[in-house]
Amino acid sequence: MTDSKYFTTTKKGEIFELKAELNSDKKEKKKEAVKKVIASMTVGKDVSALFPDVVNCMQTDNLELKKLVYLYLMNYAKSQPDMAIMAVNTFVKDCEDANPLIRALAVRTMGCIRVDKITEYLCEPLRKCLKDEDPYVRKTAAVCVAKLHDINAQLVEDQGFLDTLKDLISDSNPMVVANAVAALSEIAESHPNSNLLDLNPQSINKLLTALNECTEWGQIFILDCLANYTPRDDRESQSICERVTPRLSHANSAVVLSAVKVLMKFMEMLPKDLDYYGTLLKKLAPPLVTLLSAEPELQYVALRNINLIVQKRPEILKHEMKVFFVKYNDPIYVKLEKLDIMIRLASQANIAQVLAELKEYATEVDVDFVRKAVRAIGRCAIKVEQSAERCVSTLLDLIQTKVNYVVQEAIVVIKDIFRKYPNKYESVIATLCENLDSLDEPEARAAMIWIVGEYAERIDNADELLESFLEGFHDESTQVQLQLLTAIVKLFLKKPTETQELVQQVLSLATQDSDNPDLRDRGYIYWRLLSTDPVAAKEVVLAEKPLISEETDLIEPTLLEELICHIGTLASVYHKPPSAFVEGSRGVMHKRLPARTGSGESTESPDVGTAAGGSAPEAAPSIIPSQGDLLGDLLNLDMAPPTTSGPPPPTTGMQMGGMDLLGGGLDSLLGGDLGGSPAMGAGFGAAPAVMPASLNAPVGGGLGDLFDLGGGVGMPMGAYIPPKIVWLPAMKAKGLEISGTFARRAGVIQMELILTNKAMSIMTDFAIQFNRNSFGLAPAGPLQVLTPLGPNQTIEVSLPLSTVGPVMKMDPLNNLQVAVKNNIDVFYFSCQYPISMLFVEDGKMERQVFLATWKDIPNDNESQFQIKDCHLNSDAASSKLQGSNIFTIAKRTVEGQDMLYMSIKLSNGIWVLAELRVQAGNPNYTISLKCRAPEVSQCVFQCYEAVLKN
Amino acid sequence: MIGGLFIYNHKGEVLISRVYRDDIGRNAVDAFRVNVIHARQQVRSPVTNIARTSFFHVKRSNIWLAAVTKQNVNAAMVFEFLYKMCDVMTAYFGKISEENIKNNFVLIYELLDEILDFGYPQNSETGALKTFITQTGIKSQSKEEQSQITSQVTGQIGWRREGIKYRRNELFLDVLESVNLLMSPQGQVLSAHVSGRVVMKSYLSGMPECKFGMNDKIVIDKQGKGGATEEAAGKSGGGGGKQSIAIDDCTFHQCVRLSKFDAERSISFIPPDGECELMRYRTTKDIILPFRVIPLVREVGRTKLEVKVVIKSNFKPSLLAQKIEVRIPTPLNTSGVQVICMKGKAKYKASENAIVWKIKRMAGMKESQISAEIELLPTNDKKKWARPPISMNFEVPFAPSGLKVRYLKVFEPKLNYSDHDVIKWVRYIGRSGIYETRC
């Protein structure tokens, strides 16, 4: 029997023919026709027109035909809900059939038909099937509850199916238990706070018993569920571990990985001096190694997980380096992952072997792999000091091969080695210089320029070398330009006599002919430094740089802990928390490792605290939101630290210069003469890094900043949040009404929206976008409207905003144009945000700096306003303002008048200085604002008014 | 969980598409085709994320199987399921090819409906599935038959049905090992391991309880302490006379009682009928490397290479290795090759950029040699030739790990046949896995 013929008919009038055949009296012909219909459906043809005819074939005693009809129903019922009702009777009847296979089939299929009216009829049969005498029917019904919950959660709760499902956990049949666990876990995920999976020692015991008896898939469901449990103490933890370890010998890799997850998690609770702890560690290594002999796809999943495990508990695999050696025939994705783990496992004991391997890999064919291998050599040098010399000589050998990309990669890593071990390997510089001409990648050019600048005094022709780069200055990438600028300034400071001309040339290129704000800013800083105080310049530019360490590529600990809880899943493959790639509330709940319990704790283990870091404060784990290509991320080995020559250490003279320059730069930006190039946002972000006051605090930084400030001023009061107003009336947007406001919470700007569907139809597929705006506000994530919005439904969402979007000056300055899309249309509206949303947490200026800045800003930039009818005293006003990140720096009382001096920093680095005059008994305040960008004053004043009056 | 499953041919046309979850739209089918099948560059990862939808794929010949999801699924499970799916299809209709899939699409849909429910894998043991998913249409079953089917599909012993009868109770054990080696040009072992499988073909009546024993070091040592003496039943065997071997790790077919293995290290089970892979294991200690390859490559000027390779067999002289093949890679700019070999046949295969030297049979403790002169075209390519390793294939009639089967006992309490009535066959085959020597 060959079915392929069904794929071939594609004539016109086909539907008509099929219709006739479907209504034929002959059973065989009917069946043939249904097969043809399914074949058409598979290739994507629309055969929904045949709905009534196909449904007519449903009442048959031929199981194969019935299954085909059901398949058709599942596909098209949604598009023809009224017709689908015709099928209900048959379903209900089938649910009563004597044959358990048919009962199960009916209940399974019915759950897949997402039509409300059918769902209503499903409840009764489902209730019966959940208590069916046949386990096959029960296990199918268990999954069906999850299906129904996905369609109509309320119905499932109302009908009490959840309780029945819970009862199934005690079922005598292991597969029923497994499916019930799977269904409950899924339902519980969408109700993070419910106590659905009420895991307690008794139910855990049941699960562990079922674990020994059910299918491989059932074991996975149960293990994944167990991993969510937190044992009460270390003894319980140990006993669960003991019962889970046999799973490590299962042939199914997923069972093994899920077991590893449970063990890794529960191990946290075991005291380290326990014998069992050591035994467990030893037991984990062999199965992990065995995973590497699985098929390549599974190897990849295993390797991504091993990467996490090695970071969490390096002791497990420290002796297994050899199994991660790359095989010639490994697929590239396996090779790259193995390389990563090799570097992590590299230690003094095995470094010789590792290096020999890496050298071998550096001669392979795949460019990405070779590059990564070369970088790996550099990382070994940084990680294992004893091997540095050997690494350098290996790199030199590779440079001798003259293979272009190998040479470039080698130079980039040698630069890092210089940073780690200064004044040790500089003898190789000559060899590097020979390869100057072959460098065509920005990163390599930048690295080489950095080396020349850093060691200018040892390179006789450094000026010539740098000059040769200068010719095509404007064609270079920003990275190279910045590096060249710094290098030439360094050269000048080291050999001032011969290079004056060169430095002038580069400064004018950077400040006058460039439209890159970063470059210009840096140019101005150097220029001013050099012209005012060359000694300070020397201290700044030639300052000793902090050493780099190998730990830069480790996954941030809170994220690592979360990922350990997700071993085996996609999150562990992407190395991202589920919230970064899963839509909706599912799996967004952050998982954490359990804290160690006290009972068996040894007093002399100092690392307990760090190991049990899971118990650290609730600080929301910082998430890597980048959705970029995975391999891209992988290859992007942490080159961050050395690319710029490091922020100069603070000196007071320098501060003013820096500010001055920045202010100037920003003024012209806001003036709009450059009109929103995308780089500008980034420019703003980077600029404050030069300002010592904010060295430790990233712009718009989160909790960290709050804690920083905490020492000085105590926790600020809540920020001012304007009341929600209607931005988009329903009339203008085909029934969608949007109202909202802006808030700054824990350093994050949030747009809080209320969406109301006032139309008759369901709205889905919401998305949001901003026009360019004055401060580069942009959504930091998609609009989280997950469920379709039914008629008369309302949903509240809050959208985190970033300030790194494209910039364009708006009028008024705080105007924001927004586009919202849904399945119906795209709608536009504009709204104004209170500028206080942009006041960052580290906006408190030093007194001296404030004073100097105040004097430095020309009086033309000062504007004065009156705030009327405000009945707060000066202290209350001050603390209220602090809640919105307006910081009082000093207070002076002159003739009964309180003068408050305040500073504000905007997210783009603009500083606003204010003087607030409060006279006792006078409800009118006077406020003077000084800022290098006077345009913002009006908005800032509005904020003062709003904050003080609320 | 798995949101949908698609099967494509090499052109990216959909052969099978089954959607389990509402969050997967029809456009997902196209997204995978455009971004992965039609992508110009080599596949960079078996997991692809396109627009917040994750695609897992495996390829069998030129057929693509892709599982789709929008949730944080168990990735290892998805791949295991895809492999299982391939096994099931192969068991039903043979090779996975476009033609076979089109010919059996109704069957595949039926299988997909059964083994994946709402994206959750269900029982996918072919033995059980074949009892009620047949290509001939369902037979009218009696009530007992039906409940037997369902209890088997959901039961604890889902892989075996009751009531199997054979006139002759027979079982075959194959110990299949693949020995992997990476050796430096100087003859230093960089890495070596054996990955082995014990494949069991059983034709036994009823529900037989089996117990399998091998020369596992841990078991032997334990017995040694306990004073029990049991002679190692080693009739066949290759190299050294090792009494026991250290197994690094092993995994078992789901019929094996893992908790019992964990506690007592005994392997007991009720086998599925017919063939099954009872056990997989890995060893790294005291491996008998059946062959040693000694390469010598000399570059004579820019246009000539001289290659000499010696292979030495390292096992009992009475045993014969078969299907020996040595593959010596040649540079891309090779213009001509002259080969002289003492034994077997050697040929330069331009399309594979390699000299392939084949020897039908070779006894233990022998050595053979090949020498070749490779003429090169002068090139201005700066990139050096990567010198891929010399690889080797062979088959030997012993287990390079030293593993020996000590016993396989069969008990069937209900039927009247005993362990002695079962005819048992044991065979050892060692094959080369990735057996490479760098040159």
Q: How confident is the model at residue A931 (pLDDT cuts 50, 70, 90)?
A: confident
Which of B60, B89, B123 marks a domain boundary? B123
Q: What whole-number distance in Å separates Cα of residue A405 and Cα of residue A435?
A: 12
Residue B340 and residue B266 share a domain: no
State the total domains in chain B: 3
Domain extent, residue B172, equals 168-222+242-285+397-435
The share of chain B scoring above pLDDT 90, in percent, equals: 55
**B interface mutation test: which of A7, A69, A113, A301 has the most B CBs within 10 A?**
A301
Encode pLDDT of B173-192 as tens digits: 999 999 999 898 888 898 89
Does residue A293 surpass a pLDDT of 90? no
> What part of B 140-159 touches A (C-beta under 8 Å)?
141, 143, 146-147, 149-151, 153-156, 158
pLDDT at A371: 92
> What part of A 594-653 touches B (C-beta under 8 Å)?
627, 630-631
- Rg from Cα positions in chain A: 34
Span B362-382, average pLDDT: 87
Q: How confident is the model at residue A900 (pLDDT cuts 50, 70, 90)?
A: confident
The answer to whether residues A839 and A886 touch, using CB atoms and an 8 Å cutoff, is yes
Encode pLDDT of A145-190 as tens digits: 999 998 888 888 888 999 899 899 888 888 999 999 999 999 988 8
Q: Please check whether residue B106 lies inside any domain of the structure.
A: yes
Which residues of B contribute to the annotated binding site? 345, 347, 349, 358, 360
Q: Please check whether residue B227 lies inside any domain of the structure.
A: no
Complex ipTM value: 0.81
Q: Please check whether residue B130 lies inside any domain of the structure.
A: no
8 Å CB contact of A213 and B141: no
Q: Contacts of residue A284 in chain B, CB cutoff 8 Å? A: none
Q: What whole-number distance in Å separates Cα of residue B146 and Cα of residue B412?
A: 25
> What part of A 330-359 touches B (C-beta under 8 Å)?
331-333, 353, 356-357
Does residue A7 surpass a pLDDT of 60? yes
> What part of A 76-105 touches B (C-beta under 8 Å)?
98-101, 104
Residue B80 and residue B57 share a domain: yes
8 Å CB contact of B13 and A581: no
**B interface mutation test: which of A216, A228, A407 has the most B CBs within 10 A?**
A216
Span B364-375, average pLDDT: 93
Does residue A192 surpass a pLDDT of 70? no
Chain B's closest residue to A368, CA to CA, is B44
Chain B's closest residue to A133, CA to CA, is B147
pLDDT at B439: 82
The share of chain A scoring above pLDDT 70, in percent, equals: 84
Mean pLDDT, rounded, of chain A:
80
The answer to whether residues A173 and A139 touch, using CB atoms and an 8 Å cutoff, is yes
pLDDT at A691: 37
Span A294-315, average pLDDT: 94
Q: Is B35 on the interface with A (CB under 8 A)?
A: no
The strand pairing partners of B16, in sequence order, are B7
Residue B402 and residue B383 share a domain: no
Chain A's closest residue to B23, CA to CA, is A583
8 Å CB contact of A251 and B280: yes
Residue B212 and residue B89 share a domain: no
What are the strands of the beta sheet with B63-69, ordered from one edge? Answer: B14-19, B4-8, B63-69, B53-60, B47-50
Q: Is B186 on the interface with A (CB under 8 A)?
A: no
Which of B62, B90, B123 marks a domain boundary? B123
Q: How confident is the model at residue B126 (pLDDT cuts 50, 70, 90)?
A: confident
Which of A89-93, A880-884, B47-51 shows the lowest mean pLDDT across its residues? A880-884
Q: Which of A44, A176, A250 sits opposite B154 (nearest CB)?
A: A176
What are the strands of the beta sheet with B170-183, ordered from one edge? Answer: B249-252, B274-283, B189-203, B170-183, B423-437, B390-396, B320-329, B354-363, B345-349
Nearest to A151 by CA among A195, A120, A106: A120
Q: Is A479 on the interface with B (CB under 8 A)?
A: no
Residue B367 and residue B247 share a domain: no
**A interface mutation test: which of B7, B8, B26, B79 has the most A CBs within 10 A?**
B79
Q: Contacts of residue A250 in chain B, CB cutoff 8 Å? A: 251-252, 254, 258
> What part of A 126-145 touches B (C-beta under 8 Å)?
134-137, 139-140, 143-144
List the CATH number of the domain containing B420. Answer: 2.60.40.1170
Residue B255 and residue B190 share a domain: yes
pLDDT at B137: 53
Residue B405 and residue B383 share a domain: no
Q: Tokens in use for B32? A: 């995978």
pLDDT at A182: 94
Q: What whole-number distance in Å separates Cα of residue A84 and Cα of residue A117?
A: 9
State the smallest CA–CA distance between residue A216 and chain B in angstroms: 7
Q: Tokens in use for A781? A: 């994530």
SS3 assignment, position B245: strand
The share of chain B scoring above pLDDT 70, in percent, equals: 92
Q: What whole-number distance in Å separates Cα of residue A281 and Cα of residue A363?
A: 36
Q: Please check whether residue B131 lies inside any domain of the structure.
A: no
Residue B417 and residue B351 share a domain: no
**B interface mutation test: which of A28, A70, A99 has the most B CBs within 10 A?**
A99
Nearest to B20 by CA among B54, B55, B61, B69: B69
Chain A's closest residue to B191, CA to CA, is A322
Which of B123, B141, B157 marks a domain boundary? B123
Q: Please check whether residue B90 lies inside any domain of the structure.
A: yes
Nearest to B231 by CA among B220, B217, B222: B220
Return the higher-pLDDT residue of B395 and A790. B395
Q: How confident is the model at residue B315 (pLDDT cuts 50, 70, 90)?
A: very high
pLDDT at B54: 94
Q: Please check whether residue B173 lies inside any domain of the structure.
A: yes
Q: What whole-number distance in Å separates Cα of residue A495 and Cα of residue A482?
A: 20
State how far the alpha carbon of B159 is from the alpha carbons of A218, A392, A505, B92, B258, in Å.
Answer: 14, 58, 81, 16, 16
Q: Please check whether residue B142 lies inside any domain of the structure.
A: no
Q: Is A378 on the interface with B (CB under 8 A)?
A: no
Q: Tokens in use for A133? A: 């005498």
Which of A187-196, B188-197, B361-370 shows the lowest mean pLDDT across its residues? A187-196
pLDDT at B384: 65
The strand pairing partners of A737, in sequence order, are A756
8 Å CB contact of B182 and A327: yes
List the CATH number of the domain containing B29. Answer: 3.30.450.60
Residue B87 and residue B179 share a domain: no
Span A539-559, average pLDDT: 80
For chain A, the straight-line distance linking the first and the last C-alpha, in angstroms and rounded, comes to 80
> What part of B 39-98 touches A (C-beta under 8 Å)?
42-47, 49, 52, 54, 56-58, 69-77, 79-83
Q: Which of B99, B104, B117 sits opposite A143 (nearest CB)?
A: B117
Encode pLDDT of B135-156 as tens digits: 665 555 677 777 777 777 777 6
Encode pLDDT of A715-773 as tens digits: 445 667 788 888 888 888 888 888 888 888 877 888 888 888 888 778 888 888 888 88
Q: Please check whether residue B234 lies inside any domain of the structure.
A: no
Q: What are phi and psi of A568, to 5 degrees?
A: 90, -20
The strand pairing partners of A257, in sequence order, are none
Decide the pairing of beta strands B423-437 and B170-183: parallel
Residue B205 and residue B58 share a domain: no
8 Å CB contact of B137 and A64: yes
Which of A140-149, A366-375, A779-788 shows the lowest mean pLDDT across its residues? A779-788
Q: How confident is the model at residue A225 (pLDDT cuts 50, 70, 90)?
A: very high
Residue B406 and residue B257 share a domain: yes
Span B214-233, average pLDDT: 66
Residue B403 and residue B301 share a domain: no
State the smallest CA–CA distance between residue B52 and chain A in angstroms: 6
